[in-house]
Structure 1
Amino acid sequence: MILLPLLLAAATPVKPPAKGTPPISEQTQKSGGPRPAEQLAVRFDSADLAFELLPERYRLEGVATLGFTAIKPVARLILDLDSNLPVSAVAVDGAPLPAGRITRPDGQLIVTLPRPLAAGEKTSVRITYGGTPHVALNAPWDDGVVWSKTKDGRLWFATTAEGYGCDLFWPCLDFPRGEPAMATIHVTVPKGLEAPSNGRLLGIDTLPDGRTRWNWRARQPNTYAIALNVGPYEEVTGTYKSRFGNSIPMTYWYLPGERPQAEKLFAEFAPTLDFFESVVGPYPFGDEKLGVVETPHKGMEHQTINAYGNNYAKAVEGFDWLFQHELAHEWFGNQLTAGDWDDYWLHEGYGTLMQPMYGEWREGRARYQAMMQGSRAGIANKVPMVRGRSVTEEEVYEPSRGGPGQDIYNKGAWMLHSLRWLIGEPAFRDVTRLAVYGRTDPKPGNFTPRYGSTAEYEGFVRQVTGKDYGWFFDTYLRRAALPELVETRSDGTLSLAWKAPGGAFPMPVEVEVDGRRTTLPMTGGRGSLPVAADAHVVIDPDAHVLRRSTAIEELQAWRTTSKK
């Protein structure tokens, strides 16, 4: 008689959590920024992450076994983990840890080790946890899980974590340099569902009750790029024969009933890879895979398992911009990871530039110019792109928190566009390869994922060109306003002068006079040339230089007024 109420309770359907619930704290919402000394005192060697999805209860259960090496003496491990995921047990080096050595301040898990570690010593901590994870309000711009259904009512689930960080799903070091050297991921899902994730598939285990466990391994994954995807997926697969001699497996996981669209998107994989390998360098994770999975949200650069939710949209450019943009992040975001969110433009500026560069590679300069101009009016210039200190992701991405927001995409791409012209194509490619691979002669096997910074990037430009372009980066990265080119014509002379917020700005300018072009070096920020009174003059006819435009400012002001 006692069991009946329990059985009835178990059979009662659980109501799906609403978007934005359960709420998360400011600590969980924060990714990056200044870190506790204990987090900087360890090297993250390995993460073995076992997840089980319980969709009927909207729960995620996890067991995380994390390996660390002490860089400096350390007595505590401070991990980031959302408080919505209670911890039930912790073991250190195989021995259960007493409850008194485990504390859960807001959004963190603090493990006081049985004994302090000396520099060079290793430890392993096993954490058992689980709960109802935060449901995203509007993934991927707002992070969390997405519980969805396919057209025939089957589970379709995904995670995103770029903004709020890895601690939404697993105990981690939630800052850009907190990548584990190796991650092994196990995802147990109900019968009939697949669970594509990061890295290389080690195997699929079928459990006695029909559930399956999908086992993956990824080397040095970007922490926010570790992703769970669950659904009744079908697959289209193939192999790309790289221009560097290796063969790269490719897979697209898509929903049933979409085979024709899926095959058309998959047909873009190899040509897009060839573009990136020709203009940047080897695909960084060729020994694992190029993976893409259809998701119930727009998209995200999840390392080797990029999320795609663009509904197979068509565009005048003739390729899927979202697939191409997320794939760009395998180079700019996953292989090259910004060492601090303050350097976020390295991800998104380059990632955005790659779409017009692909258009140029496919169709020529006209396509490139059209795509670049399409983004020009989106540059806001409200705050600098770089602050020169450690900041959180939201302090960069959210204008409401003082960040440059979308400027890291559009202004970042335009700055790189101007740099590409200023130093020339060969130098720009060498700088890019140094930033991505740490070398100009990358080949499969001679590089590993790396961290980069704005200061390092400027150093690469000096190294390649032999010149100091501090004035260029000071103006575009550390100032909000754009440089203005002041033009005057008098007594048969055209005079040009740069008015830049950072002071000296000796940016060369191309001038077309009656169809003939010349480039003024603008030494000292000024230049002039003789021009007949009736000559037709066009300044910077190919828009090489990102500079102030009163027309765009008036357009932006008009748009703002029109919305009121």
Structure 2
Amino acid sequence: LLGDRIIKILVKNKFHLNKRMYMQRFTVLLLFSFFSFNCTHIKMLKEVPHNFDSRLSNPEEAEAYPKLTERNRLMGNLSAERTCYNVSHYDLNLDIDVEAKTIVGYNTITALAVHDFSTLQIDLQHKMNIEKIEYNGNELNYSRKEDAVFVEFPTMTQGTEFLFTIYYNGTPRVAPRPPWDDGFVWEKDKADRHFIAVTSEGLGASHWWPCKDHISDEPNSMAINITVPSDLMCVSSGQLKEIRDAGNGKTEYRWFVNNPINNYNISVNIGHYTVIQDTIHSLGKVRDATYYVLDYNETVAREHFKEARTVIRVLEHYFGPYQWWEDGYKLVQAPYLGMEHQTAVTYGNKFRIYDKSKSRNIYGFIDYIILHETAHEWWGNSITACDPADVWIHEGFGTYTEVLYVEYLLGYDLSIDYFIQKRRGIGNRKAIVGPRNQNYWGFSDAYNKGAWIIHTLRNVIDDNELFFKTLKGFAVDNAKGIVCTEDVRDYFAEKTGIDLTKFFDQYLFNRKIPILEYAQENGQFYYRWVGAINEFDMPINLLVNKSEKRIYPTIVAQSISIPEYATVEVKDWEYLIIKKENEDLLTSAAISASN
């Protein structure tokens, strides 16, 4: 019919071809248009099974949290020896022997006494050797337990600013599987030259440099001065202030971070780098960006890393200003997949967007590593969790950023098609927020489930304008700050006027997700929550004959009137729930109604 209408138009305009020829040409045109659109937008998406509920379950048995070890007690607990002081500045100086795979150097720590004290705790992996610890020109006594170092000071009074230096050396831990299992990465590039990096999230930065190794205490600034063989370049966080000839065929690279930074975000990246300069348009200003890639990758990287321009633009749209322009924005090629090292995002996805990337569900569209790790410049680096148990704030918001990026560029429907696949792997075996003060990194379900919780919150609010205003407000108001899960809850509750206590209790502090049981009969739709905490009353939206209807289930069966034989869809693509049709609910609802 559409073809006939177009042919009539063509004939009316005196295109003297017979109808068969018109149909042939129109069919070719239509197919070309269809497949062109698919190649640009839809064909990117892998075919997704339609029954998504089967991917979600609440296992009968919970998975136990790790047994608390003495090391994790010392690393995770904010003891008096740690809360007695706040670090304001680190001055890290290291000489890295790339052949022997050893490091030697010192870290000068500037801090403020929060309380009177005579002993404080710093952290350094027990296999690293401490040569001495100095304060005011005097060596201090210290003792070691696991990876904790207890340093004895003259009595320090509240409000005193002081600095001390730890001289150390050793063979740092080799990363078994970076960035998931941390340590130094001593690799060779394709030209058989040294290619070196380090990761620390989870294990802690103290595996290679002495620091107060708790996620909640960030220095206000940091100097990172690294000496390497002169044929190599060293890239770290912040601005490159100076390159010095260190003698004996070595060069010192002096980097400086002007902002608060997580300990685990400090990295060194050593290789035969070439430098690519770029510019990024940021909220009306043109900013500099720098990419460090192995010399033989310059051509591909120069084109591939242009994606960062769009990434920054979209993320600033949702979350407000990138916070680190004073320290720059860098992408740094690394011998592992990638990591969100602040202002020096490491990248090892081989400049591809088709395979070996979690963006594989959108073929040819995006390099997941650039997007996800840059998202952490807001979620994790600017806004930092108060405890490793709350790391879903980093990873859940980071993962939801991927979804918002797709939504921004391709629209909501395609973002849902992409996002629905991230239900895979949600385990529900333990609560996302686990035990605090135990150095427990709550990565289990932090990524995909965390993102789905945020999406569910968006639809509980049921007002996109309000949700995005609150989301950006949270990112801006808490920039360069430390937050707990409760802070997320309270901020969104205040700005939206919705009591979110039960929502957060169910989704963050309880392992199970709610099950919506429902049934339909005689112009009535029956529903209730099961497997939910007491007084859980999250509203959800239905489509009744394609018209949206909001219901307010509780653990008590209820019903609403609907047209006889209506088609009802539970909008489970908007909520992290399990939906379950249950005919027994008809009897339960009838009993409840009679009572």
Q: Which residue of 2 aligns with 1:102?
A: 142
Q: Which residue of 1 aligns with 2:121?
A: 78
Aligned residue identity for 1:90: I
CA distance in 2, matches of 1:133, 1:388: 29
Aligned residue identity for 2:165: R
- 1:179: how far off? 1.3
Q: Which residue of 2 aligns with 1:136?
A: 175
- The secondary structure found in structure 1 opposite 2:401 is helix
- 1:501: how far off? 2.1
- 1:247: how far off? 3.8
Determine if contact 1:80/1:171 at 8 Å carries over to the other structure. Answer: yes
CA distance in 2, matches of 1:300, 1:27: 28
CA distance in 2, matches of 1:539, 1:453: 32
Indicate whether 1:89 and 2:132 are aligned. Answer: yes
Determine if contact 2:428/2:512 at 8 Å carries over to the other structure. Answer: yes
Indicate whether 1:54 and 2:94 are aligned. Answer: no
Determine if contact 2:515/2:580 at 8 Å carries over to the other structure. Answer: no
- 1:178: how far off? 2.2
Aligned residue identity for 1:414: W
- 1:468: how far off? 1.0
- 1:422: how far off? 1.7
Aligned residue identity for 1:50: N
Indicate whether 1:377 and 2:424 are aligned. Answer: yes
Matches within 5 A, 1:311-390: 311-315=350-354, 316=362, 318-387=365-434, 389-390=436-437
CA distance in 1, matches of 2:286, 2:93: 30
Determine if contact 2:274/2:294 at 8 Å carries over to the other structure. Answer: yes
- The CA deviation string for residues 268-300 of structure 1, in whole angstroms up to 9 with x for no partner, is 011100001111100010111111111111111
1:117 to 148, 156, 171: 156
Q: Which residue of 1 aligns with 2:83?
A: 40
CA distance in 2, matches of 1:346, 1:236: 32
Aligned residue identity for 1:253: Y
1:65 to 89, 108, 111: 108
Matches within 5 A, 1:158-557: 158-218=197-257, 219-243=259-283, 245-315=284-354, 316=362, 318-387=365-434, 389-394=436-441, 396-397=442-443, 405=444, 407-423=445-461, 424-438=463-477, 449-522=480-553, 528-540=559-571, 543-548=573-578
Determine if contact 2:87/2:111 at 8 Å carries over to the other structure. Answer: yes
Aligned residue identity for 1:263: R
CA distance in 2, matches of 1:352, 1:262: 24
- 1:250: how far off? 1.0
Aligned residue identity for 2:419: M
Determine if contact 2:395/2:450 at 8 Å carries over to the other structure. Answer: yes
Q: Which residue of 1 aligns with 2:62?
A: none
Higher gyration radius (CA)? 2
CA distance in 2, matches of 1:227, 1:61: 16
- The CA deviation string for residues 449-507 of structure 1, in whole angstroms up to 9 with x for no partner, is 10001111111012101221111111111111111111111222111212242122322
CA distance in 2, matches of 1:153, 1:489: 67
| C-alpha RMSD of matched pairs (Å) | 2.1
Determine if contact 1:28/1:81 at 8 Å carries over to the other structure. Answer: no
Determine if contact 1:89/1:96 at 8 Å carries over to the other structure. Answer: no
- The secondary structure found in structure 1 opposite 2:253 is strand
- The secondary structure found in structure 2 opposite 1:104 is strand
- 1:434: how far off? 4.1
Do the aligned partners of residues 103 and 33 (structure 1) sit closer, same or farther apart at CA in structure 2, a change above 3 Å counting?
A: closer
- 1:162: how far off? 0.2
Determine if contact 1:30/1:164 at 8 Å carries over to the other structure. Answer: no
- The secondary structure found in structure 1 opposite 2:235 is coil
- 1:146: how far off? 0.6
Q: Which residue of 2 aligns with 1:556?
A: none
- The secondary structure found in structure 2 opposite 1:511 is strand
- 1:524: how far off? 7.5
Determine if contact 2:518/2:580 at 8 Å carries over to the other structure. Answer: no
In terms of mean alpha carbon deviation, does 204-213 or 370-379 score higher?
204-213
CA distance in 1, matches of 2:555, 2:69: 48
Aligned residue identity for 1:224: Y
Determine if contact 2:516/2:579 at 8 Å carries over to the other structure. Answer: no
CA distance in 2, matches of 1:500, 1:283: 41
Determine if contact 2:517/2:579 at 8 Å carries over to the other structure. Answer: no
- The secondary structure found in structure 2 opposite 1:39 is helix
Q: Which residue of 2 aligns with 1:445?
A: none
- The CA deviation string for residues 331-388 of structure 1, in whole angstroms up to 9 with x for no partner, is 0001000011121111110000000110111111122101211111221111111246
Structure 2 residues not aligned, in runs of 5+: 1-67, 355-361, 582-595
Determine if contact 1:475/1:501 at 8 Å carries over to the other structure. Answer: yes
- The secondary structure found in structure 2 opposite 1:463 is helix
Determine if contact 2:75/2:148 at 8 Å carries over to the other structure. Answer: no
Do the aligned partners of residues 50 and 27 (structure 1) sit closer, same or farther apart at CA in structure 2, a change above 3 Å counting?
A: farther
- The secondary structure found in structure 1 opposite 2:452 is helix
Determine if contact 1:28/1:164 at 8 Å carries over to the other structure. Answer: no
In terms of mean alpha carbon deviation, does 247-256 or 273-282 score higher?
247-256
- 1:251: how far off? 1.3
Q: Which residue of 1 aligns with 2:35?
A: none
- The CA deviation string for residues 154-209 of structure 1, in whole angstroms up to 9 with x for no partner, is 11000000011010111111111121111110011101211110111112112333
CA distance in 1, matches of 2:555, 2:101: 64
Q: How high is the TM-score relative to the length of structure 1? A: 0.85
Do the aligned partners of residues 194 and 393 (structure 1) sit closer, same or farther apart at CA in structure 2, a change above 3 Å counting?
A: farther
Q: Which residue of 1 aligns with 2:22?
A: none
- The CA deviation string for residues 10-31 of structure 1, in whole angstroms up to 9 with x for no partner, is xxxxxxxxxxxxxxx9666778
CA distance in 1, matches of 2:95, 2:287: 29
- 1:523: how far off? 7.0
Aligned residue identity for 2:528: A
CA distance in 2, matches of 1:500, 1:464: 29
- 1:527: how far off? 5.0
Do the aligned partners of residues 29 and 455 (structure 1) sit closer, same or farther apart at CA in structure 2, a change above 3 Å counting?
A: closer
CA distance in 2, matches of 1:506, 1:268: 42
Determine if contact 1:31/1:393 at 8 Å carries over to the other structure. Answer: no
Structure 1 residues not aligned, in runs of 5+: 1-24, 398-404, 440-447, 552-564
Determine if contact 1:290/1:305 at 8 Å carries over to the other structure. Answer: yes
- The secondary structure found in structure 1 opposite 2:112 is strand
